[in-house]
């Protein structure tokens, strides 16, 4: 059982999510080049932020996406919607300028581009999408269409 979380990632993994358009590469964490890398839709530029974490929850009123994008300004993040109901969240973190006099002891923060795409369900109001960013968290809210409940009328039964 301990192999399952490490192999498939977190409990919110999108591997089996029918609405996620991410391409899962089982060899992505191995030190050698991936056999599927030529088939993958990700370029090496987007791999730096491939682990950008995004939560998608559905409330009675809306679909809410929350993305961790620490250190990015809102100008460095794009939220787009394609005609076929696909939400795309992308951005780029640039590499810090190096000074010749600096000595780096450790570089752990990633830089580069990221892109995540999600197929939205039919009940999403595509014309009312809102996005905000606060403390390194991007929040995209997509209201849901109201489900009209059928009018139920009682019918009197005569004998």
pLDDT confidence tier of residue 103, bands split at 50, 70 and 90: confident
Instruction: Give, rounded to a whole angstrom, the gap between the first and last alpha carbons of the chain.
Output: 64
Q: What domains sit in the chain, N to C, each tagged with a CATH number?
A: 54-96+111-143 (2.60.40.790)
Strand partners, 58: 63
What number of CA atoms fall less than 13 Å from residue 152's CA on the CB side? 1
Q: How many CB atoms lie within 10 A of CB 115?
A: 20
Tell which residue, 148, 58, 72, 139, has the closest CA to residue 110: 72
Distance CA 140, CA 69 (A): 13
Residue ranges of alpha helices (H) inside the chain are 3-8
**Structure confidence by residue, pLDDT tens digits, 110-141:** 778 889 999 999 999 999 999 999 999 999 99
> Quick one: DSSP state of residue 93?
E
The answer to whether the predicted template modeling score (pTM) of the entire model surpasses 0.75 is no
């Amino acid at each position: 059982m301990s192999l399952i979380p490490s192999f498939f990632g977190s409990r919110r993994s999108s591997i089996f999510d029918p609405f996620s358009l991410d391409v899962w590469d089982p060899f992505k964490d191995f030190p050698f080049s991936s056999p599927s890398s030529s088939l993958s839709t990700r370029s090496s530029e987007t791999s730096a932020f491939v682990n950008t974490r995004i939560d998608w929850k559905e409330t009675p009123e809306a679909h809410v996406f929350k993305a961790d994008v620490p250190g990015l300004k809102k100008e460095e993040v794009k939220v787009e919607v394609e005609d076929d109901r696909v939400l795309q969240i992308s951005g780029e973190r640039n590499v810090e300028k190096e000074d010749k006099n600096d000595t780096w002891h450790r570089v752990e923060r990633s830089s580069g581009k990221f892109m995540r795409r999600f197929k939205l369900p039919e009940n999403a109001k595509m014309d009312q999408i809102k996005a905000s960013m606060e403390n390194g968290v991007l929040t995209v809210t997509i209201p849901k269409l109201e489900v009209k409940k059928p009018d139920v009328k009682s019918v009197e039964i005569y004998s």
